[in-house]
Amino acid sequence: MEQTITIASNSEMGRDRISAYLWSVFLICFLGNASAGTISTIASVYLPVIADQLASAGSAEQIHEISAYINALYLVGWAIGGMSWGIISDKIGRVKSLAMCLASVGIFTICVSYASSWEVVVVLRLLGGLAVGGVMVITMTLLSEVWPSKTRSVVMGVVSIGFPVGIFSSGLVNVWVNDWRQAFFIGVLPLILAAVSSVHLKESSKWKLSQLTIAGDNSQKNSHFKAPGLVHGAVVFGTMLIALWSAFSWMPTWVQSLLQESSGQTERGSVMMILGFGGIIGGILSGWIVKVIGVRKSTLVCFSGALGISILLYGFTREFSFWIYPAITCLSFFFGISQGLLSFYIPQLFAVEIRAGATGFCFNAGRVITAVAVFSLGSLVMYLGGYGNALLLFSGFLLVGFFFVLVSKSPSQLTNQ
């Protein structure tokens, strides 16, 4: 046992010299997050068209209902998958789990292209969401374990922009590809990544060591759901996620509702690209911002900034104008910073043997609430008098997150295992 631990420790110390392999891990994780971002939002930009074509000349209310099912069930799958695959990867390893998730994402996304009814789309998006949830958790967990601590926050912040890069890409796809069925062939990318991951990636030595420790001493077993910092991580990440995902899911439809004399294809695509672009800049800068002002102050800035922009955007906009574009850019910038800093911060709260499962819970607890909110959005739109008011309601969770961070004390030490 001692010899094994020594070998693992030496391996950790030598990682700086395996730069080519480390950068390949970085690239696979980045592209995995990017494909997850594209696939997660590709349905949103095509949602009005998909619902209209598959509703069989349904009413506007029926189209709203179909849209809600497609978005909400995807979020349900994402939440369950993020929690489940995190625990699975704690048991069978990061690399095996990541390859399986990426392959599933690709297969179920491509199958959407052949869907004959909206019910089939709902089922396929649910299954795809299960796998995407795993990709988002495992990539960050793997990086937190293999990358040297000195530059870990910066690198993980950059990898976190893979998701907004994917959002930006979904906007490009919408502009370039008119047929939504062709657009879902984007699922080929995660299939390729799954093949490369299974052949090229090596299992985290920290995870291997944790399994040896558990096997040698049953007292080392920890509970995923009794971990210190679990509530802190879940509330902070979850409240931001609710506002973020409601914006990414429904902003194209909100923009469509503001237009008077336009099909909305260009505007919807432009909005998704801007959301992605702002998130990319925020994610890139997140690591340096954390180094300068710390996690707590950075988080407070993100919550207050996103809330202020949301109030201006959703509360005071009644018709489409070009000032919407810079406002959305600012909003996505704050979202990007938050996802970068929290993607680095949260995995470090937990011991290695429960890291992926506990991180998955924190990443996805808020998504359950989001799924319920998105599912009821059709009714909320009617009741509240428009998409803007409904989105403003969801943005109110940012206030909850802000005050929680303000009055709570973050765990004093990160678990740098």
Q: Helix crossing, 265-316 with 152-160: angle to 10°?
A: 110
Question: In this predicted structure, what is the pLDDT of residue 416?
Answer: 38
Do residues 74 and 125 lie in contact, with contact meaning Cβ atoms separated by under 8 Å? Answer: yes
How many other CB atoms are found less than 10 A from the CB of residue 188?
Answer: 12
Residue 16 reports pLDDT greater than 90: no
Most confident of 100-109, 131-140, 332-341, 356-365: 100-109
Q: Which of 23, 273, 284, 38 shows the shortest CA–CA distance to 153?
A: 284
pLDDT at 412: 43
Q: How much is the pLDDT for 235?
A: 84
Higher per-residue confidence, 400 vs 150: 400
3 pLDDT band, cuts 50/70/90, is very low
What's residue 59's pLDDT?
A: 61
Work out the pLDDT band at 263, boundaries 50, 70, 90. Answer: low
Given this model, what pLDDT does residue 342 score?
82
Residue range 237-253: mean pLDDT, rounded: 81
- The pLDDT assigned to 90 comes to 87
Mean pLDDT for the chain overall: 80
Q: Which residue has the higher pLDDT, 14 or 275?
A: 275
What is the C-alpha to C-alpha distance for residues 379 and 390, in angstroms, rounded to an integer? 10
pLDDT greater than 80 at residue 375: no
Report pLDDT for 286.
85
298, 289 contact by CB (below 8 A): yes
Task: Return the ∠ at Cα 367 (arms to 51 and 340), rounded to 5°.
Answer: 110
**Cα–Cα distance, 209 to 4 (Å, whole number):** 8
The confidence band for 6, taking pLDDT boundaries of 50, 70 and 90, is very low
Instruction: Quote the pTM value.
Output: 0.71
Q: Which two tokens stand for residue 214?
A: 């558990």
pLDDT of residue 7: 42
11 against 336, higher pLDDT:
336
Percent of the chain scored above 90 by pLDDT? 21
